Amino acid sequence: MTNEELKLLAVDKSVDARGTACPGPLLEAKKAIGIIKPGNIMEVLSADEGTKKDIPKWCVKQGHEYLGTIEESGYFKIYLKKR
């Protein structure tokens, strides 16, 4: 997805994990995805560089759809859809 398409997504769940270092954001994402419904869109906010690679790979491994990442100033937003 392009950044424009990502920005237009209706997000069902937003997880702000900017206060934690790896593996905090991954665990926050893992916990949150357990409570949303299949097909729901989740965004994860993180300022941890390792997480930018970790969450998309984890997402695919778990069978969820990785939609893309938007870079913001000092952090980024990762978008995924629950299978």
Partner 1 sequence: MENKKLCLALYTGSVDKLTAAGIILSAAAADDMKVDIYVLLQGARAFRKDIGDNPDKLQMAENPNMKEEFLQSLKNLKVKTWVEFFKEAKAITDVKIHICGLAGKVWGGEKLDDFIDIVDDIVGINEYITAAQESDVHLFI
Q: Catalytic site residues?
A: 22
Q: How far apart are CA 62 and CA 47, in angstroms?
A: 22
Among 7, 11, 14, 23, binds partner 1 (CB under 8 A): 23
Residue given tokens 């939609």 in the structure block = 67
Select the span of 1-9, 16-24, 39-47, 67-75 touching partner 1 (CB under 8 A).
16-24
Q: How far apart are CA 70 and CA 1, in angstroms?
A: 10
Residue given tokens 């299949």 in the structure block = 38
Among 6, 15, 29, 78, binds partner 1 (CB under 8 A): 29
61 belongs to the binding site for partner 1 (CB under 8 A): yes
